[in-house]
Structure 1
Amino acid sequence: MRQDSPRSSRRARSIGCVCSPSRCPTVRAEPALTGAGPVIAPADRADVPGVIALIGRVYAEYGFVFDPPVEVPDLLAFERHYEPPRGAFFVVRQAGSIVGSVGVERLDGTTAELHRLYLDAPLRGRGTGRGLVEEVLAWCRMSAVARLVLWSDTRFEQAHRLYRRIDFRQTGERTLPNDPNQTREYCFERPV
């Protein structure tokens, strides 16, 4: 549903659909989805400012300090972290804005890490987060990744409920040193 950059060769996915894009009647090229509801689509470097703005909105909602070079250095080096075959990044677009995101980055031959699962508040609890995680899992399967891990701030309780519902298990905890947000994180993982 991107209006500022033509990507007619890109495929987008209606929220909630987890079937193969080549076999799914609800998947259309992005231009056909203009004006539709939220749509999950592959992202690239041009989407980074919109993703940073989204994360800034979520941080503000929680009263967190947001300094992009400190908090999201991976996004500022997008190609190094999210270009194939190392990784992938997906966004949710609605009415020309980025309202959701998720990334995945290969750690080694069989393990990848989920990063940057963020949604604007109105989309939470409506299946959008699950749809984003399903995109990551599909990428992992296509990339022969056997295990997916993630770290999540202990205050993101709604996200933790989602992770548990889709078979992640909590395996650890850490405190980030010298962090202005006094961040403690839980580690979650699951087989792919």
Structure 2
Amino acid sequence: MTEIRLATNRDGDQISDLIAKVFAEYPGCVFDRAAEFPELDAIADDFAPQGAIWVAENADGQIIGCLGIKLSDDQTVAELHKVYLDKSSRGQGLAQRLLAHARDWLLAQYPACQELVLWTDTRFVAGHHFYRKCGFIETGQTRTLDDLSKSAELAFRAEPAMVLAAA
């Protein structure tokens, strides 16, 4: 059975391994923890106090998924971060469960939040399909990051209460 729980700072190494595995699936995606992911050294602290990150852990204690949310200063906009799922766990509803956990937490803790946004690499096409299926709409905004992967990203948005309504 897969357990979804709040991440702790001790989870940084396993989250790092998960992200590295996902990046390895895509040509040109470079994972360099020290250079671009230093927050993994204290991942729970990075999301506090106006945010949280959850992990999905299998029966063997391995982290096979993660998803985090950070709130804007005025608490009206939340942004998804670190949405990753091990390839062997995809297509089984785990991503929806993680997203539902985060959405329910967001609606309970930050009822004034009006918008849930995310940025996703243009190469993560399966992720784009997942977000659309869960009620997110592509905004048409794009951005290019100054990272090792030379990432181009697309923006998506949704009203928190509408996320997963159609899934």
Smaller-chain TM-score bracket: 0.7 to 0.9
Letter in 2 for 1:161: H
Letter in 2 for 1:110: T
C-alpha distance after superposition, 1:117-149 (max 9, x if no partner): 101101112211111111111121012222111
- Provide the residue aligned with 1:61 in structure 2: 25
- Provide the residue aligned with 1:135 in structure 2: 101
CA-CA distance at 1:80 after TM superposition: 4.3
In 1, Cα distance between equivalents of 2:131 and 2:38: 24
CA-CA distance at 1:77 after TM superposition: 4.4
2:15 to 51, 59, 68: 51
CA-CA distance at 1:151 after TM superposition: 0.6
In 2, Cα distance between equivalents of 1:131 and 1:141: 15
C-alpha distance after superposition, 1:91-112 (max 9, x if no partner): 0111211111111111232111
In the alignment of these two chains, the number of paired residues is 154
Q: Does 1:101 align with 2:69?
A: no
Higher-Rg structure is 1
CA-CA distance at 1:153 after TM superposition: 0.5
- Provide the residue aligned with 1:176 in structure 2: 145
- TM-aligned CA distance change 1:70 to 1:112, over 3 Å: farther
- TM-aligned CA distance change 1:79 to 1:122, over 3 Å: closer
Runs of 4+ more than 6 Å apart: none
In 2, Cα distance between equivalents of 1:128 and 1:170: 22
Helix, strand or coil at the partner of 1:75: helix
Letter in 2 for 1:50: Q
- Provide the residue aligned with 1:15 in structure 2: none
| Structure 1: 5+ residue stretches without partners | 1-36
Q: 2:12 touches 2:42 (CA, 8 Å); kept in 1?
A: no
| Structure 2: 5+ residue stretches without partners | 161-167
Letter in 1 for 2:121: D
